[in-house]
Amino acid sequence: MAVASLGDVVVTTGSFPLLSGVNLTLESGTTYVITGPNGAGKTSLLRLLAGLETPSRGSGSVLGFDLCSAQRRELRRHVGWLGHETSFYADLSPVENLQFAARTTGADVELIPSALERVGLTHRAKVPLKSLSAGQQRRVSLAWLLVRRPQLWLMDEPFASLDDEGRALVSELITAAQASGATVVLTSHGALPAEIEATSIVIVGGRIHEVAS
């Protein structure tokens, strides 16, 4: 069953095409890794799948939500996002950020302590986010994925800014997501750990160049 279907989608910023006609179908329960040179459109494709970008041309749907309509807002509630930049509020602690996110989305607040423990942030759970390192801040976003348990995981270079322990943690979480039947789409510059089996999507110049298992 297709979890996402894109038909000749163009996404622009100003008059520059970030994505210049993407045709892509993603199957449910599969892991995909998007690779390509800098500026190829990897992050833009991920943001499109999250409902964070509006197609200028073409059509698409993700999890049954039309990307070209206000359904994008509803789509966002069903995806998990791990981005480059610091997520949530820098002045709040990991616990406060996760509690706010959980309470406003109806996620289970009781899962927060175990999620923070799983990502190794129990000892830093109550300090402001801005006091944490970049790697630790990313772990807060990972903890949120564990609390949210979305059907579709979208991760932008999840191994960046992480030490060996952090990378092992991300591998473990992706493997667990795969086992639970979630669809995982991630971008990466380098090779993935061996334990992660993924279908490769190569994007160049804003278009899909190749899809290979």
User: Is residue 89 involved in binding another protein (CB under 8 A)?
Assistant: yes
User: What span, in angstroms and rounded, lies between the C-alpha atoms of 176 and 58?
Assistant: 34
Query: Could you tell me the smallest distance in angstroms from the CB atom of residue 117 to another protein?
Result: 21
- Of 25, 59, 64, 100, the one binding another protein by CB under 8 A: 100
DSSP code of residue 119: T
Tell me the per-residue interface mask from 133 to 162 with another protein, x by CB under 8 A, - otherwise: --------x--x------------------
Residue 112 Cα to chain centre, angstroms? 19
Query: Could you tell me the smallest distance in angstroms from the CB atom of residue 78 to another protein?
Result: 8
List Cα–Cα distances, 139 to 41, 134, 166, 208, in angstroms: 25, 9, 8, 30
E-only strand ranges, 49-94: 57-62, 65-66, 79-82
Query: Could you tell me the smallest distance in angstroms from the CB atom of residue 101 to another protein?
Result: 6
Contacts of 184 (CB under 8 A, 6+ apart): 30, 31, 32, 152, 153, 155, 174, 177, 178, 198
Residue 106 or 190: the one with the smaller Cβ distance to another protein is 106
Residues that bind another protein (CB under 8 A): 10, 12-17, 20-21, 47, 50, 52, 54, 56, 69-70, 73-74, 76-77, 79-81, 83-92, 96, 100-101, 103-105, 128, 141, 144, 204-207, 209
